Structure 1
């Protein structure tokens, strides 16, 4: 059964190019995560993995990109279930960008009850973090 989670949409005072370039380097993803809830961080330009507190290791692998508008991510081989995570980047005007994350995962009903709320909170946290990082 497919589970879909969309983060909140954040408005960022920066260009779509700057937002895309930041997200296109997976070494930067760490800056978007709650440092008190993750450990075992590893990253390259095209992949990263981390352990969420009291949960599984989450490996993220860049699948494809559409310059300045979308980054398609898939779960790596050690993911607890198959999933995709797309990051959408939309131009809202001169030097203003809207961004959000869209997750779709194949999660069984038992696991779904436990992970939907924390995943929703994580993706909203990442969206907020993106705004903070790119408006410094």
Structure 2
């Protein structure tokens, strides 16, 4: 299984607030790039279209309060994956955040998708930092 990690980012907000924001897919949609269209969500599930590519559905598999959120496919997907969102409190209002994408990719798909997936997890983590620090939750 291919493992793609975002950069570790330090976010100037509490671990609890960051976890609470990201553990609800209704908030998760606010972090998506413009290539994501037809976003629909509940607290624990979401579906969307990657413009010009495919439709995807995801669900929250597991929540470990304030530390980890595990996201998995919900229904048919081009490949099996897990997205792990991890948070570590450094101080009361300072949290380290990292997103890790685990994907079951064949060698051809791995060559084509690795860089876009790396860009995706980094972009999500950067947008989470921006949302937490600029606008607050």
Q: TM-score, normalised by structure 2?
A: 0.93
Distance 1:130 1:32 in 2: 7
- Structure 2: gaps spanning 5 or more residues: none
Instruction: Tell me the secondary structure at the aligned position of residue 97 of structure 2.
Output: strand
Instruction: Tell me the secondary structure at the aligned position of residue 14 of structure 1.
Output: coil
1:33–1:122 contact (8 Å) kept in structure 2: no
1:90–1:97 contact (8 Å) kept in structure 2: yes
1:57–1:78 contact (8 Å) kept in structure 2: no
Instruction: Tell me the secondary structure at the aligned position of residue 111 of structure 1.
Output: helix
Residues 1:60 and 2:78 are matched in the alignment = no
Q: TM-score, normalised by structure 1?
A: 0.93
- Structure 1: gaps spanning 5 or more residues: none
Structure 2 residue aligned with 1:130:
128
Select between 17-26 and 57-66 the one with higher mean Cα deviation. Answer: 57-66
Instruction: Tell me the secondary structure at the aligned position of residue 42 of structure 1.
Output: strand
1:88–1:99 contact (8 Å) kept in structure 2: yes
Distance 2:70 2:116 in 1: 21
Residue of 81, 97, 104 corresponding to 2:95: 97
Distance 1:101 1:79 in 2: 20
What is the CA deviation profile of residues 13-58 of structure 1, one whole-angstrom value per residue up to 9, with x for unaligned ones?
A: 1111000100111111111111x21112111100112222332223
What is the CA deviation profile of residues 86-133 of structure 1, one whole-angstrom value per residue up to 9, with x for unaligned ones?
A: 100110112101111111111111111111111110110000000011
State the Cα RMSD in Å: 1.1
